[in-house]
């Protein structure tokens, strides 16, 4: 396929997860380098990946079976699950979100959307190397992690092939402090879990004015995922009263944020682009 026209960035893809689905029926949105499965029932859900999986539990807890081990994880936690096959059972019909860079157990028809290959996007591998001592399912309480003093909106975590930012606040976001930006060689996923949002999107102007686009301001309800391609200027605004929870997703992990000390568990990993000690 031809490379994308640099003056005409691919569209951002807004995926809205169904309010209800048959137990066991996959609800998975995808980007080029990651997928996001929405689990909202208490039936066991099996997943398999050659890389670590990231399970978010914003409400109720879950039981995670991996190999011969069983781990009980509380609500308001995230779980890093080793590569291989696992079974997840929510403690009640609440909500679990399973993020992966690769899923061996899903077919193309299991995804809610399709994405054309974009050659600008760097691959998610080689994977980061897990340091000795960090083994098995690791459970992290969100409330035990503090945002860095120089960036209070960040609660960042990584796996071997992913990184996320857990963003939560009450009431609308301050419109005088939005953060429009773009990425040259990777996608961003913005997963709205609680609260309503507006995704503000701007396509950079090129030399051909016939290809210019108007800005977009896309409303995003809870239970939606926006996949943002490289080159598209974007920022997300929580609107209305009440609690807002938004998860930003990246693959590969954000090396720039790791270098700044913003990824809370980065000490568990070694960067494959650097020689091992």
Decide if 83 contacts 161 (C-beta within 8 A): no
* pLDDT recorded at residue 10: 63
Q: Count the helix, strand and coil residues of the chain and give each as a percent rounded to the nearest 5.
A: 5, 40, 55
Q: Note whether residue 102 is domain-resident.
A: yes
Query: What pLDDT score was predicted for residue 67?
Result: 93
Give me the residues paired with residue 200 across strands: 217, 235
> Does some domain include residue 1?
no
Question: Which 3 state secondary structure label does DSSP give 215?
Answer: coil
State the pLDDT at residue 26: 83
Total domain count for the chain? 1
Number of neighbouring beta carbons within 10 Å of residue 199: 20
- pLDDT tens-place string over residues 81-93: 999 999 999 998 8
Given a cut of 50, the residues of the chain with pLDDT beneath it are: 1-8
Confirm whether 202 is domain-assigned: yes
Distance, in Å, from the CA atom of 50 to the CA atom of 181, rounded to the nearest integer, reads 32
In a domain? residue 271: no
Residue 199 lies in a domain: yes
Task: Return d(Cα 263, Cα 122) in angstroms, integer.
Answer: 20
| The two structure tokens encoding residue 152 | 């209070």
Q: What is the pLDDT of residue 88?
A: 96
- 158: helix, strand or coil: strand
The residue segments making up the domain with residue 22 are: 13-265
Beta strand pairing call for 35-39 and 62-66 = unpaired
C-alpha closest to that of 201 among 12, 14, 10: 12
Residue for token pair 């598209």: 232
The answer to whether residue 272 sits within a structural domain is: no
Task: Tell me if 3 is assigned to some domain.
Answer: no
Q: What's 59's domain CATH number?
A: 2.60.120.10
Residue 27 lies inside a defined structural domain of this protein:
yes
């Amino acid at each position: 396929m031809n490379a994308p026209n640099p003056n005409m960035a691919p569209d951002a893809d807004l995926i809205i997860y169904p309010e209800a689905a048959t137990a066991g029926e996959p609800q998975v949105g995808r980007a080029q380098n990651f997928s996001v499965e929405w689990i909202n029932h208490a039936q066991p859900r099996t997943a398999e990946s050659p890389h670590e999986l990231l399970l978010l539990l914003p409400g109720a807890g879950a039981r995670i079976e991996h190999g011969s081990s069983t781990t009980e994880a509380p609500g308001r936690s995230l779980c890093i699950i080793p590569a291989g096959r696992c079974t997840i059972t929510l403690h009640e019909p609440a909500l679990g979100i399973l993020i992966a860079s690769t899923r061996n157990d899903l077919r193309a028809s299991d995804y809610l959307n399709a994405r054309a290959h974009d050659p600008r996007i760097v691959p998610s591998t080689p994977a980061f190397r897990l340091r000795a001592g960090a083994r098995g399912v690791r459970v992290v309480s969100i409330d035990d992690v503090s945002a860095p003093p120089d960036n209070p909106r960040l609660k960042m975590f990584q796996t071997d092939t992913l990184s996320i930012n857990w963003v939560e606040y009450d009431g609308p976001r301050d419109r005088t402090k939005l953060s429009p930006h773009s990425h040259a060689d990777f996608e961003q996923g913005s997963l709205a879990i609680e609260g309503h949002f507006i995704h503000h999107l701007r396509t950079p102007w090129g030399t051909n004015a016939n290809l210019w686009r108007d800005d977009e301001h896309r409303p995003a309800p809870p239970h939606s995922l926006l996949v943002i391609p490289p080159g598209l200027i974007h920022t997300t605004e929580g609107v209305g009263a009440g609690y807002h929870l938004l998860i930003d997703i990246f693959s590969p992990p954000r090396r720039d944020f790791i270098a700044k000390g913003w990824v809370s568990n980065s000490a568990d990993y070694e960067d494959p682009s650097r020689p091992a000690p």
